[in-house]
Amino acid sequence: MKVLVANLGSTSFKYRLFDMSSETQLARGGVERIGSPESPCFVEIGSSRTELRTPVPDHAVAVRTCLAQLTDPVSGCLKDASEVAAIGFKAVHGGRVSGVQRVTPDVLAAMEEMNLVAPAHNPPYIAAMRLLGEKLPEIPLVAAFETGFHNTIADRLRTYPIPHEWEEKLHIRRWGFHGASHRYIAMRTAELIGRYDLRVISCHLGGSNSLCAIRGQQSVATTMGMSPQTGLPHNNRVGDFDPFAIPMVMKEFGLSLHQVLDTLAEKSGLLGLSGISGDIRDLEQAAAEGKSRARLALDVFIAEIRRHLGGLLVELGGVDAVVFTGGIGENSRATRAGVCAGLSELGIDLDLAKNETHRGEGCLSSPASRAQIWVIPTNEELIVARQTKHLLEG
């Protein structure tokens, strides 16, 4: 079985193609600037890369263009497009609908109900899924919701202290996200250590950020709440924020509620704090040059990770492994060192020499550390491919 896993933006379509008989990646590719007169399209198969520029008016044409590249008689890896058993989507928020689902009108309606809390994610996915369902009815579409991994979290850790009818009617609760990444980390950590009853804190740090407490490969707590804007600071999204400050901002700056929410979702986080960039690499360089706001942004980021890590550590009653993943978790030595600093009394002791030179997957804890500290590159697409395969097989 071959599964194509899609990552959608409002004007982009990126994918990875997996052969699920061996769980190997056959190809990766995508289309950028959908709707422009010349959309860049690329496919990578092994060490070979093919590029072209052609008009791609919508996501359905983008998929057909990618399938044409994959079935090219000279450079492709498929004999026919019918070899693709399904397209799997790393869907973000379905509210009342979670887990792994065939894309149906009801699933799309459930996603639309959550548009206000996932404005950057749900609308482009809904539009593309609906279009693909109409124009490519021969290919099954499967939505693997990010919230699904967190369905095992107890109600006491998912419930906000709000009127009950708000939760009942509007599904306002701590849903949690980055489910595919945390699920992969749970499985891969168990494989590496050789134990399946581990207490793991998974630190997904990248463009958006969350921590997850995992026991026996199941989520027991996470830092994101009702929306992907919550929890830790993100590159341009606020993270945790007191809602009672919003009326003050509206009054002082003459802004509408929509404008304030847009600012919190697009111009806050590390970007808002620093006034420079939401990219950790830019901020580390700026801080080294003495720019105080960049330094503050990095300090706040690390402080928030440590604050939430402490809460998850208490919930687990200790930890067997702390895992860093995502673009920041895998590559920022300073972030890893900052998060682990001074935690040796809690059994978390980073080998600073290993941390300075490490690349790729590996263990960075010192011999004195009771908990193992790992860097593990995540593979969200493989998780979605597995979930899609399992759904199709019933």
**202 phi, psi to nearest 5 deg:** -95, 125
Does the annotation list 225 as a binding residue?
no
Is 169 known to sit in a ligand binding site?
no
Q: What is the pLDDT of residue 9?
A: 77
95 is in an annotated binding site: no
Q: Is the pLDDT of residue 11 over 90?
A: no
Q: Is 112 annotated as a binding residue?
A: no
- Domain for residue 385, yes or no? no
**Residue ranges making up the domain that contains 314:** 194-375
Is 251 annotated in a binding site? The answer is: no
Residue 133, marked binder: no
Find out whether 35 is annotated in a ligand binding site.
no
Q: Tell me which of 123, 144, 165 is where a domain ends.
A: 144
Both 112 and 251 in a single domain?
A: no
Is there a binding annotation on residue 7?
A: yes
* Residues 200, 334 within the same domain: yes
218, 130: one domain: no
Q: Same domain, yes or no, for 224 and 368?
A: yes
Are 211 and 353 contained in the same domain? Answer: yes
351 is in an annotated binding site: no
Are 136 and 200 members of one domain?
Answer: no
In a domain, 303, yes or no: yes
Q: Is the pLDDT of residue 98 over 80?
A: yes
Is the model's pLDDT at 394 over the cut of 90? no
5 pLDDT higher than 90: yes
Higher-confidence position of 391 and 7: 391
Same domain membership, residue 340 and residue 202: yes
Overall number of domains in the chain: 2
pLDDT of res. 154: 98
Question: Among 154, 155, 159, 216, which residue's Cα sits nearest to residue 183?
Answer: 216
The pLDDT-based confidence of 163 (bands split at 50, 70, 90) is very high
- 347 and 243 housed in the same domain: yes
Of the listed ranges 134-138, 161-165, 285-289, the least confidently predicted one is 134-138
Which strand (E) or helix (H) includes residue 278? none
Cα angle vertex 283, ends 281, 285, to 5°? 70
Measured distance CA(113)–CA(84) in Å, rounded = 30
Has 254 been labeled as part of a binding site? no
Query: 111-129: per-residue pLDDT in tens?
Result: 999 999 999 889 989 998 9
**Residue 189 counted as domain residue:** no
Q: Are residues 140 and 209 in the same domain?
A: no
Q: Give the C-alpha distances (Å, rounded to integers) separating 7 from 129, 151, 175, 221, 362.
A: 11, 23, 21, 26, 27
Residue 181 lies in a domain: no
Instruction: Establish if 8 belongs to a structural domain.
Output: yes
Residue 38 labelled as part of a binding site: no
